[in-house]
Amino acid sequence: MADPKTEEDIFAEVDAEIAAEEEAAAAEMEEALGEEGPEAPGAAVEAIIAERDELKDRLIRALAEAENIRKRGERDRREAEQFGGSKLARDMLPVFDNLRRALDVVDDNQREIAGGLIEGVELTLREILNVFGKHGITPIAPEVGDPFDPQLHQAMFEAPVPNVPAGGIIQVMSEGFLLHDRLLRPAHVGVSSTPAS
């Protein structure tokens, strides 16, 4: 298999073809004019050189445009691969939330009565997290007392809480999620306001 041609190889071939065409055109012009017009072949050669320069410039621009299109296509393909499933992932988050809420309200007495059912819900929740992980979806799980980060958290309410600095998280209502490095959903939290004095 032959090696792919580089830009320099292509330019060299184009220059060689143009030079051959210039020589042929100059010889043809000399033959047509004979001895009568010595300045005429020089003008024809200059016109051919100008045309060559214009074609060379157009070729360089076309190659640059093709390279830009290739890079843009590669970037778009990577983004589609990474973030194409974000709508489906966003639609699955309420399922995760409902399973999490179901487990949060179960007490020890209910666990004894419906142990197999509760275990099934736990396994389903774990499997959803495994599938999320395979597709680059990671949970944002702030803890009570962590500082509020507007890049990752959404404040659902504010309340003054004694002994908690302003801007501290006082309640986590639902986890947030990142899809690779993009925020899929912020964590919904309650935030401490400045305590009343």
Residue 176's CB is within 10 A of a number of other CB atoms, namely 22
Tokens encoding 137: 């979806």
Determine the pLDDT at residue 85.
80
Determine the pLDDT at residue 83. 81
Tokens 């959404």, located at residue: 154
Token digits for 110? 């209910």
Structure tokens at 195: 């305590």
Residues 43, 25: Cα–Cα separation, whole Å = 11
Nearest-angstrom CA–CA distance, 82 and 76: 10
Predicted pLDDT at 75: 92
Could you tell me how many helices (H) and strands (E) the chain has, helices first?
5, 6
3-state secondary structure of 93: helix
Q: What is the pTM of this model?
A: 0.59
pLDDT tens per residue across span 74-129 = 999 988 888 888 888 889 999 999 999 888 888 777 777 777 888 888 899 999 99
HEC sequence for 117-152? HHHHHHHHHHHHHHHHHHCCEEEECCCCCCECCCCC
pLDDT computed for residue 125 by the predictor: 92
What DSSP letter does each residue of 38-77 carry, written as one string?
SHHHHHHHHHHHHHHHHHHHHHHHHHHHHHHHHHHHHHHH
pLDDT confidence of residue 195:
60
**Domain extents in the chain:** 7-83, 86-193
Note the CATH architecture for domain 86-193.
Roll (2.30)
pLDDT of residue 57: 92
DSSP 36: S
Supply the pLDDT for residue 13: 81
* Residue type at 65 in one-letter notation: E
Tokens 């006082």 -> residue: 170
Please report the pLDDT score of residue 191 as a whole number. Answer: 93
The pLDDT of residue 128: 93
| pLDDT attached to residue 41 | 62
Q: Which residues of the chain have pLDDT under 50?
A: 35-36
